[in-house]
Amino acid sequence: MLTIFALNSLIVALAVIIHYEILYHLSLLIPKLKIKHRLRIVLGVLGGLVAHAFEIWIFAFAYYFMILGDGWGRLEGNFSGTLMDCAYFSFTTFTTLGFGDIVPHGQLRYLTGIESLTGLVLITWTASFLYYEMQRYWDSQ
């Protein structure tokens, strides 16, 4: 149980660090750009999407290597074991969409739960960042 806690913590920490760094660099870059407010927000949205995609792929690789390993559990349902299937599962889990066509078993269930919570927090963080950026430049159109 300690191993799964440590692995999950490492994956979440990596996702949070990536998210922080991307938003931090966006917050430095956006004010320096000599472009219209609308384009600054578009850049912020695209940066947020890139951040989320990186984070989702981190979880996808974790699922992929965990199902290859022994004793971590498995994913069942509409799942063939490919990295792309793991990415699809991660995208639906991170966004809390959860179609339910792929079901985790064993220790993978814990990573699935923490990925949903992490996705919820990071998506909200991005929304707050974009709201702040919109407020900051709203009058300077």
Query: pTM of the prediction?
Result: 0.93
Would you tell me the crossing angle of helices 83-94 and 37-68 to the nearest 10 degrees? Answer: 130
Walk along the chain (141 residues) and give the pLDDT tens digit of each residue: 899 999 999 999 999 999 999 999 999 999 898 888 888 889 999 999 999 999 999 999 999 999 999 899 999 999 999 999 999 999 999 999 999 999 999 999 999 999 999 999 999 999 999 999 888 867 655
Q: What does each C-alpha distance from 75 to 3, 5, 7 come to in angstroms?
A: 19, 19, 18
Quick one: CA dihedral 67, 70, 76, 81, positive or negative? Answer: positive
Instruction: Please state the domain extents for the chain.
Output: 2-140
Does CATH number 3.40.50.300 belong to domain 2-140?
Answer: no
- Distance from C-alpha of 16 to C-alpha of 11, rounded to nearest angstrom: 9
Contact between 16 and 122 under an 8 Å Cβ cutoff? The reply is: yes
